[in-house]
Each structure stands twice: as structure tokens, then as C-alpha cells.
Structure 1
């Protein structure tokens, strides 16, 4: 089994994800093979919070061209994690 740090790759800091942090929703890039229960336990273990709900989606790679040749950027998995009302916030997103 993978460790929690292998499942959670990096947080996603965009304008939309920062607006959702007011509702205690945080966005992360996760391992492609991770399921919702693994993501939930990894977030709870790393940040010490209580997770209420996890939504995941697969992001397909975009078609990019360089002259004649074309290829795709990598595809990845995104997870939006909603914390419980009595849970503390994740400190990483507070300073943004």
C-alpha cells in the first residue's frame, strides 16, 4: 500500500480553489489509482482534519502542437475535499 504522501501529490492553488476554501473545500492533485477512501484517510493523516466528502475527477491531457508534431500533455486526477463544520482549516491555504 502507498503512503499518504504518495497519494497526495500537490495542492492546487487557483482563483476558483481559493474561493472554495471559504466553504472548507480544498483541491489537490492525487495519484491516478487512488480511490476516495484512500484520499480521505491520507488527508486526515497528513493535515489532522476530519473529511466529510471527497469528489474526484480525471483530467484529460490537452492536445499541444510544436510545429508539425503534436502530442498530449499528461492526464491526472483531481480531488476536491470538503471538511466537516467542526474541523479546523488547513493552514497551507490560509496564507494565500
Structure 2
């Protein structure tokens, strides 16, 4: 008695739409000479993220919003700085949380669409 070949279940890939929380997690790209050099040479994107973000949530949000594979995430907290304006007036530059996101080889995102 021979066994019938079983049909393999087809794997259906469901594309998840990004949620509002994922959009709110990624605030804006950091545009500096250093971040642009990292983007061109090492395929790393620097983004300013929400203060409650962690590595896993940044990875999930970036993959959902931009549709690329993320291999690594580094988180950097910068402290606020006190400044003086005109020698008389004091002010502060707020501290931010940044994420340096490494995108998989062969994939890229276009932050500056023309």
C-alpha cells in the first residue's frame, strides 16, 4: 500500500500595514555629514526616534514603514545642552534619542525623492 503524496501547505506571505504607533516611533532622519557618509559607505540610516523606543520596536517599525530587512540597530541618547544667546539669555538644546539602523546588503531606502 503506497502513501499518497501530501500537498504541502502554501505559505501565504501577508504584508502587514504599518500602524500609527510605528509611524510615531520614527520621528525624522538625522541629516549630517557623518550620517550621510554612513548611509553611502556602510548602508546605515540614522533616525531620531521617540524617547520610549527600544531596539526591537525600532527594528519592527522601520521594517514595516520602509519595507526593508534590518540587520542591526544601535541606540544613542544625547543629553540636553545649555546655551547662551547674545550673552544675556539662557536657553537649552533638548536631548534626543537616535537610532543607527543597518539595512541588509543589497537593500536601500530613498530618503530624498526628487
Q: Could you tell me which runs of 5 or more consecutive residues in structure 1 were left unpaired when the two chains were aligned.
A: none
User: Does 2:100 align with 1:85?
Assistant: no
In the alignment, structure 2 segments of 5+ residues that lack a partner are 1-18
With normalisation by structure 2, the TM-score equals 0.74
The aligned length equals 94
Name the stretch that deviates more: 64-73 or 10-19: 64-73
1:22-80 Cα shifts (integer Å, max 9, x gaps): 21100000001100000000100110000000001111111112344423221110100
Pick the structure with more helix per residue.
1
Say whether 1:41 aligns with 2:41. Answer: no
Structure 1 equivalent of residue 38 of structure 2: 20
Query: RMSD of the alignment, in Å?
Result: 2.0
Q: Between Structure 1 and Structure 2, whose CA radius of gyration is higher?
A: 2
Bigger relative contact order (CA 8 A; separation at least 6):
1
Q: In structure 2, do the counterparts of structure 1 residues 93 and 21 end up closer, same or farther at CA, with 3 Å as the change threshold?
A: farther
- Which structure shows the higher strand fraction? 1
Q: 1:55 aligns with which of 63, 66, 74?
A: 74
Tell me, yes or no, if structure 1 residue 73 matches structure 2 residue 93.
Answer: yes
In the alignment, the residues of structure 1 paired with residue 77 and residue 92 of structure 2 have an alpha-carbon distance, to the nearest angstrom, of: 15
